[in-house]
Amino acid sequence: MSAGANGAAERAAKMLKVTLKHSTIGAPRVQRATVQALGLSRLHKTVLLPDNPQVRGMVRRVDHLVDVEEVTE
């Protein structure tokens, strides 16, 4: 395989499993919007998101509300 195809396969294999563990009630509007943008609409909901700098930045903003696991598929 070429280096480009291998790099794309590695990026596709890295995912983040993000679970909403704490309520957004009382949280600032920016944090509520970030949780919603991550696709988390209710407590204990889990979503699989690509592991990229944009998602990592969003998770870092609300890391006190969510649990994050790295998943390799």
| Helix, coil or strand: residue 11 | helix
What are the chain's domains?
3-72 (3.30.1390.20)
pLDDT at 15: 96
- Split at pLDDT 50, 70, 90, the class of 1 is very low
Q: Is the pTM of this model over 0.75?
A: yes
Structure tokens that stand for 72 in this block = 């390799």
Q: Per-residue pLDDT for 59 more than 60? A: yes
- Split at pLDDT 50, 70, 90, the class of 13 is low
Contact 21, 67 (CB under 8 A): yes
| Helix, coil or strand: residue 16 | strand
Neighbours of 45 (CB within 10 A): 13
Mean of pLDDT values over 50-69: 97
Mean of pLDDT values over 30-41: 97
Residues in the chain: 73
The mean pLDDT of the chain is 89
Strand-pair partners of 21: none
Q: Indicate the DSSP class of residue 51.
A: -
